[in-house]
Amino acid sequence: MDTHKRYSGLAVFFAFLGGAVDGALAGILLTTKSGQEVRWDLEDYAREKQGYLLRQAKKARAALDDAIERGKTFLSKHEPMAKKDADDEKPDSGREEAPPRDAGVRT
């Protein structure tokens, strides 16, 4: 029999998150710095990360804008061909008459 327990991904995630929070609290509580110094350090760290996230967001936006432009260019180059192919597949504007329903049936 299989005696190993399986844990869901959610349980593992919450265990990891709990460990991270516990580690952060222990680091803050057991530091040799004063409370004011710790707050300043945390504030500096938060500002650094905010700047980093803003730079990454701008890069992502630029990449998205570039992808949109490339898509528009691709479509503008290939749209006439797609319309031509679609027109080639359409029957002529004059409708061909369908044979009568009883055509070929002898009574």
Residue 99, pLDDT score: 61
Please indicate, yes or no, if residue 52 is contained in any of the structural domains.
Answer: yes
Between 14 and 3, residue with greater pLDDT: 14
Evaluate if residue 6 carries a pLDDT over 80. Answer: no
Evaluate if residue 104 carries a pLDDT over 80. Answer: no
Of 50-54, 73-77, 89-93, highest mean pLDDT: 50-54
Residue 8, pLDDT score: 84
Please indicate, yes or no, if residue 76 is contained in any of the structural domains.
Answer: yes
* Six-digit token string for 70: 């490339």
pTM above 0.85, yes or no: no
d(CA 8, CA 104): 68
Range(s) of the domain holding residue 80: 33-90
Specify the number of domains making up the chain: 1
Please indicate, yes or no, if residue 1 is contained in any of the structural domains.
Answer: no
Hey, what amino acid is at 32? T
Determine phi and psi for 103, rounding to 5 degrees. Answer: -65, 130
